[in-house]
Structure 1
């Protein structure tokens, strides 16, 4: 059992269900339930502000599918970001990697190889850039913030150079149909998101790779003394993030039927924010894939709520910023911290 997931029942001798629920091991469960409560609250706000829309059952169903579809690409990218942050790093270049992978996959030369060639190119570019990030950080000893910031600028520049600062249209029907295809009434993009989330959950919670990720993020030196090749593992984490960016590039290209150097703008901030409010510690060593998914859904629902109420993007960004600050404060001042604070006040 990974330290990032709480057990369903009390396991330790003398531990009751009540004490387990109040302890640190149940914190991911409590946080996820809190995020579910936030989603419910957002739905209630939507129903109050636009009752004529929420009174239509078919509109509600289509709106839910729209939110899930809009969350699909950033959700896939967030899975990779969550692994990187749990491992003690940060990746500011994910948006730029998506743009570079999308532009490279939609060049005329690449499109001549068909859908398979486009998908392979996007994934190869994503993984390749991720490997460069990992090598710079692990073996070049660059701070993750600086290395990925430099890559963000360089990848955007290369994408603009390749595309000639023009929008490249995807002429491949297979790629374009990914966004419009539905299976059992659910968009194919949602299935892709579900598959990536499921694979990420298994990788983090049921494999040695996941346990090593938590160990490296929690205490790199202790992980090294325990026999973990911290440098190699860090490289793999950034390659995994790049893989998710490559998949996300194909998903976004399908939705827009095109790619450009400015695509996925500020996606790095959305992915980091979603991971944080989902319970991933910025200092590393703890986080959950399910929590990150809930974080993505919260932000997508907020975006949708603002859209149906015709509110400005500026107000939406201010609300997002407030949520991020609140999430970080909650991480720092959890239940035990508040209890200790109150105890010191009473004894003082």
Structure 2
């Protein structure tokens, strides 16, 4: 790669320090939420409940990591929920039919990758807006899942699969360990590989990235494929917990994923995002919902809180960009 490409792709030291400051702010926000609910509810700070929060946050964290990569590239993926649904029902169908667990898992992940590939190709080569593309595939993928199952859940997921995704090691749920590994891989991808540099470059200034020789189309497509794969993985965590897959699975997962990424410092304008921040954002949402549930607050108020958090995060991003 030429020096010009490298100059475009690598974030400036000042930008990296801003990411670190934002991550610290997100961590402080999480600590504040934990402290508040710890005071308001005596059951909040118990060891079992804190583990429950991490487990409940694992699915959103998994989806949000893929969403973060897409957002950094300047896109958005509204189809993660229906993508997860297609993957879930096909994986569950294969498992119930006696397909070996590794084969069923690979098939489910492949379905997620194909869904992401369709999104990426339409965005990169058809020149369509990511919002419009994924809004369309949101409905399309959901319809496919409903047609495939006839609108019925797939029951009887084998215990071996459930243990793999819903077991624990020394009290730590497998899902938490899996997402921690995914987060580490995402961090390495973003910080230590050319693809990470390309994602930041394309999202920050696509025209400059093109002039510098960055493979724009491949970069965008790769981000959507990863998002699809992680949506599929998130669905497997859920069906491992429930023992069944429903075609309506994943409703509003895109909202939670965008919220986690936004709380963690990702900018919907592209070119900015943090793996650590996204994980903290997912835990913030999980802790908030857990605390509100313990206080017997109705679910639609929790949805209201999620929407308000997204708006506040976007306002903070607007202010910090204006100052930058």
State the TM-score, normalizing by the size of structure 2.
0.93
Q: Output aligned runs, 1:258-337, within 5 Å.
A: 258-334=244-320, 337=323
Question: Corresponding residue for 1:50?
Answer: 41
Aligned positions, number: 317
Provide closer, same or farther for how the CA distance between residues 5 and 223 of structure 1 changes in structure 2, counting only shifts above 3 A. Answer: closer
Tell whether 2:27 aligns with 1:36. yes
Tell me how far apart the structure 1 counterparts of residues 23 and 39 of structure 2 sit (CA, whole Å).
24
Tell me how far apart the structure 2 counterparts of residues 292 and 3 of structure 1 sit (CA, whole Å).
21
- Deviation, 1:26, is 2.2
Question: Corresponding residue for 1:238?
Answer: 224
Greater RCO structure (CA 8 Å; 6+ sep): 2
- Asked whether the equivalents of residues 166 and 237 of structure 2 are also in contact (C-alpha less than 8 Å), the reply is no
Secondary structure of the equivalent of 1:334?
helix
Question: Corresponding residue for 1:227?
Answer: 213
Gaps of 5+ in 1: 7-22, 341-348
- Deviation, 1:259, is 0.6
Question: Corresponding residue for 2:3?
Answer: none
State the TM-score, normalizing by the size of structure 1.
0.86
Looking at CA atoms only, which structure, 1 or 2, has the larger radius of gyration? 1
- Deviation, 1:336, is 7.0
- Deviation, 1:123, is 0.3
What whole-Å deviation, never above 9, does each CA across 1:215-266 have from its counterpart, x for those lacking one?
1111111111111221122111111111111211211110111111111110
- Deviation, 1:112, is 2.1
Q: Output aligned runs, 1:54-73, within 5 Å.
A: 54=44, 60-73=46-59
Question: Corresponding residue for 1:155?
Answer: 141
Taking only aligned residues, the RMSD between alpha carbons, in angstroms, comes to 2.0
- Asked whether the equivalents of residues 94 and 104 of structure 2 are also in contact (C-alpha less than 8 Å), the reply is no
- Deviation, 1:87, is 0.4
Tell me how far apart the structure 2 counterparts of residues 36 and 80 of structure 1 sit (CA, whole Å).
21
Alignment partner of 2:155 out of 158, 169, 173: 169
Gaps of 5+ in 2: 1-5
- Deviation, 1:108, is 5.1
Secondary structure of the equivalent of 2:157?
coil
Tell whether 2:70 aligns with 1:79. no
- Asked whether the equivalents of residues 102 and 253 of structure 1 are also in contact (C-alpha less than 8 Å), the reply is yes
